[in-house]
């Protein structure tokens, strides 16, 4: 057997093998595409088998069989065009031209009893080659639109089709140039072998090749996947997963997350095909989710006629769906759709399953991160509560101990010395400590109210200058130098009780944290349509390390000695709450040993 003959036998074997494989898959999954593929290779296989049988066994050609085979071969370009139509759109004109060509070839052959003149054969050959080239271009375009395995397979099919067209062209030309017949025949065999191999790769690629093709897309997806759980929120993760799955599959993809409480899948479908929520229904995605099985629908409209108009409106032809589940936990479903039916359903189904599994891992990691954050927040809240209770208990205990001791002393004295004059100083101490206690309880209650956003109540016009004058004139500050500078009334719309509380707190602190002989200055002015209050002292100041937290609950400066300066670290926290709930801001400038200035800026409100 010569090398050329060997090539020829090999080519024929490959074509027959491809036919057997595609016929088997058409039997298993009867879709228009799989049948079209089987028909196309059936025509080639029939031609090969018939001529082999006749030449090998030296049989007389059976006319009817020969005619049928000839018609099938003539129909090949037309069958090829049908195939293109399955995953691309063939214009009306091209379809009609192909049909005309088919009719012409069939008539020519039948009218000349299988022996058409060379000129007609040439016309048919050119028609075949032109159509094959057109189909190859269409396949290339379809390949460009897809990605992953589909893209590689379509590229292989495009190459195979181009080689087939060339084979026919060269084979058709060889009778015209008898001198080069030998060389042309060799070329035909090689082109045909190339075409057979490329078709084999395109329509029945061995698993190892498919895996090799899938790998780069998958690798890219997995590389992105590793960072996805850290995205700010679940919708961003779902969006990124949809994009990744879409480009890996060469399709549009959407993910529905299962909400156990409502028993619904929630979608954020960027392509607008699916509604935002899908509960138990005839939706194919719900079916796949419920049965926890991946599914492929070559024709979505046929599988779910109820939704056919919607599918058509959104250009959805075939669907791939896989449930997203982690162990026994049902998390959701991944759906991918294409506007044309890919020939490669089976492989894509494997891939979509794999992507859904990856999505499950990512979503699970995300929910673990969320859970950890929840636990941390919970622990923090619990710790805060404990801090609160211990700080409150500690601060309440001091005045309470003095109060109880003093009261017991007075009681004993009253019993043992009933006629002794009342101990006025002792009674005053009791009143003082009871007041301190009451003030602490009020602070605790206020800080709780502040948390609930209920601290500031009804507002009314308040003159801040008058309020400050009132505060500075109080008996508590007798003996301290407090100066107030304000040119005119500064009236704004405030809750009078709370704004007074805030200002009083700042003045109290200025007095508390500065030496008796020093001066406290209050300045109130109206500037840029805002009320501004500055409270300045020449006291101990606040260490710069404390400045950032000084307005936080329970925070006290590290330079403050608990025994010398009583306090809970709630005053400034409440002050800030009051100012901010009035739409204002509070800040501080301070230097240790020099003094502090607290700045309050408040909007004037309606009364401005
Ligand atoms: P308390 O005075 O009860 O500790 P505050 O919330 O009013 O609580 O103040 C928090 C902390 O801010 C104080 O403990 C103190 O360290 C610091 N601080 C507040 N005002 C002044 C001031 N005028 N001078 C120096 N330090 C101050």
- Which pLDDT band, with edges at 50, 70 and 90, does 70 fall under? confident
In 417-477, which residue ranges form alpha helices assigned H by DSSP? 424-451, 464-472
551 C-beta closer than 6 A to ligand 1? no
The Å distance, Cα 236 to ligand 1 centre, comes to 43
Q: What is the pLDDT of residues 563-604, one digit of tens each?
A: 778 788 889 999 999 999 999 999 999 999 999 999 999 999
3-state helix, strand and coil shares in percent for the chain, rounded to the nearest 5: 65, 15, 25
The Å distance, Cα 531 to ligand 1 centre, comes to 23
pLDDT exceeds 80 at position 304: yes
Classify domain 213-372 by CATH number: 3.30.450.40
Closest C-alpha to 8, from 202, 177, 157, 195: 195
572 C-beta closer than 6 A to ligand 1? yes
Q: How far apart are CA 507 and CA 505, in angstroms?
A: 5
DSSP state of 535: E
More confident residue, 382 or 293: 293
- Which of 504, 539, 571 has most ligand 1 atoms within 8 Å of its beta carbon, as the pocket-test mutant? 571
Structure tokens at 533: 């209050």
Does 3-205 carry CATH code 1.20.1070? yes
Structure tokens at 447: 């800080």
Beta partners for residue 296, in sequence order = 320
Atom of ligand 1 nearest to the CA of 569: 8
Residues 309, 311, 315: CA angle, nearest 5 degrees: 120
Q: What is the pLDDT of residues 427-483, one digit of tens each?
A: 998 998 898 888 888 888 888 888 888 888 899 999 999 999 999 988 888 889 999
Atom of ligand 1 nearest to the CA of 557: 16
DSSP state of 266: E
Q: How far apart are CA 504 and CA 497, in angstroms?
A: 10
* pTM of the full structure: 0.55
Average pLDDT, stretch 49-56?
82
Q: What is the pLDDT of residues 338-369, one digit of tens each?
A: 876 555 556 678 888 888 998 998 888 888 88
CATH architecture of the region 460-603 = 2-Layer Sandwich (3.30)
131 C-beta closer than 6 A to ligand 1? no
Backbone angles phi, psi at 575, to 5 degrees: -55, -50
Q: How far apart are CA 601 and CA 42, in angstroms?
A: 87
Q: How far apart are CA 190 and CA 185, in angstroms?
A: 9
Q: How far apart are CA 397 and CA 402, in angstroms?
A: 9
Residue % of the chain over a pLDDT of 70: 97
The Å distance, Cα 599 to ligand 1 centre, comes to 14
Closest C-alpha to 130, from 113, 155, 105, 156: 105
| Per-residue pLDDT, 124 | 84
Q: How far apart are CA 238 and CA 214, in angstroms?
A: 22
Closest C-alpha to 83, from 170, 193, 203, 182: 203
Atom of ligand 1 nearest to the CA of 537: 23
Compute and round to an integer the Cα radius of gyration of the chain.
44
Q: What is the pLDDT of residues 94-105, one digit of tens each?
A: 888 888 888 888
- Which of 549, 563, 567 has most ligand 1 atoms within 8 Å of its beta carbon, as the pocket-test mutant? 567
Q: How far apart are CA 500 and CA 494, in angstroms?
A: 10
């Amino acid at each position: 057997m010569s090398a050329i003959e060997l090539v020829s036998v090999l080519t024929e074997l490959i074509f027959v093998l491809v036919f057997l494989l595609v016929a088997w898959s058409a039997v298993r999954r009867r879709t228009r595409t799989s049948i079209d593929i089987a028909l196309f290779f059936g025509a080639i296989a029939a031609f090969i088998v018939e001529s082999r049988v006749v030449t090998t066994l030296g049989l007389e050609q059976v006319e009817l069989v020969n005619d049928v085979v000839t018609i099938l071969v003539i129909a090949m370009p037309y069958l090829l065009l049908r195939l293109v139509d399955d995953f691309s759109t063939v214009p009306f004109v091209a379809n009609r031209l192909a049909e005309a060509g088919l009719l012409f070839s069939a008539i020519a052959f039948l009218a000349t009893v299988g022996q058409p003149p060379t000129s007609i054969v040439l016309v048919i050959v050119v028609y075949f080659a032109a159509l094959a080239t057109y189909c190859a271009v269409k396949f290339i375009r379809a390949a460009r639109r897809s990605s992953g395995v589909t893209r590689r397979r379509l590229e292989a099919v495009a190459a195979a089709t181009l080689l087939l067209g060339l084979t026919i062209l060269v084979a058709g030309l060889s009778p015209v140039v008898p001198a080069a017949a030998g060389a042309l025949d060799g070329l035909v065999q090689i082109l045909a072998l190339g075409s057979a191999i490329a078709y084999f790769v395109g329509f029945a690629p061995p698993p190892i090749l498919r895996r090799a093709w899938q790998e780069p897309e998958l690798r890219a997806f997995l590389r992105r996947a590793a960072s996805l759980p850290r995205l700010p929120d679940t919708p961003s993760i779902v969006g990124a997963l949809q994009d990744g799955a879409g480009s890996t599959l060469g399709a549009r993809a959407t993910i529905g997350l299962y909400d156990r409480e409502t028993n619904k899948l929630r979608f954020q479908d960027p392509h607008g095909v699916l509604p935002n929520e899908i509960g138990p229904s005839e939706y194919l995605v719900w079916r796949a989710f419920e049965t926890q099985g991946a599914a492929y629908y070559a024709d979505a409209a046929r599988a779910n006629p109820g939704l056919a108009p919607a599918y058509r409106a959104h250009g959805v032809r075939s669907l791939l769906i896989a449930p997203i589940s982690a162990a026994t936990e049902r998390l959701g479903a991944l759906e991918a759709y294409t506007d044309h039916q890919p020939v490669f359903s089976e492989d894509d189904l494997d891939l979509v399953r794999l992507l859904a599994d990856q999505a499950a891992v990512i979503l699970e990691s995300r929910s673990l991160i969320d859970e950890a954050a929840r636990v941390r927040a919970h622990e923090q809240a619990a710790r805060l509560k404990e801090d609160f209770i211990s700080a409150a208990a500690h601060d309440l205990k001091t005045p309470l101990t003095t109060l109880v001791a003093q009261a017991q002393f007075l009681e004993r004295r009253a019993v043992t010395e009933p006629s002794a004059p009342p101990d006025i100083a002792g009674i005053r101490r009791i009143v003082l400590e009871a007041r301190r206690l009451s003030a602490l309880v009020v602070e605790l209650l206020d800080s709780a109210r502040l948390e609930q956003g209920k601290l500031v109540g009804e507002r009314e016009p308040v003159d801040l200058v008058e309020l400050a004058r009132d505060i500075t004139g109080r008996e508590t500050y007798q003996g301290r130098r407090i100066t107030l500078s304000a040119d005119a009334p500064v009236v704004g719309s405030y809750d009078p009780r709370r704004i007074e509380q805030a200002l009083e707190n700042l003045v109290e602190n200025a007095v508390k944290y500065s030496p008796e002989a020093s001066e406290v200055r209050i300045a109130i002015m109206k500037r840029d349509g805002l009320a501004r209050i500055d409270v300045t002292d020449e006291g101990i100041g606040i260490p710069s390390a404390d400045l950032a937290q000084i307005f936080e609950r329970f925070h006290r400066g590290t330079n403050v000695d608990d025994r010398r300066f009583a306090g809970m670290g709630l005053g400034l926290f409440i002050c800030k709450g009051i100012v901010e709930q009035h739409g204002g801001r509070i800040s501080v400038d301070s230097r240790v040993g020099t003094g502090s200035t607290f700045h309050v800026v408040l909007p004037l409100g309606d009364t401005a």
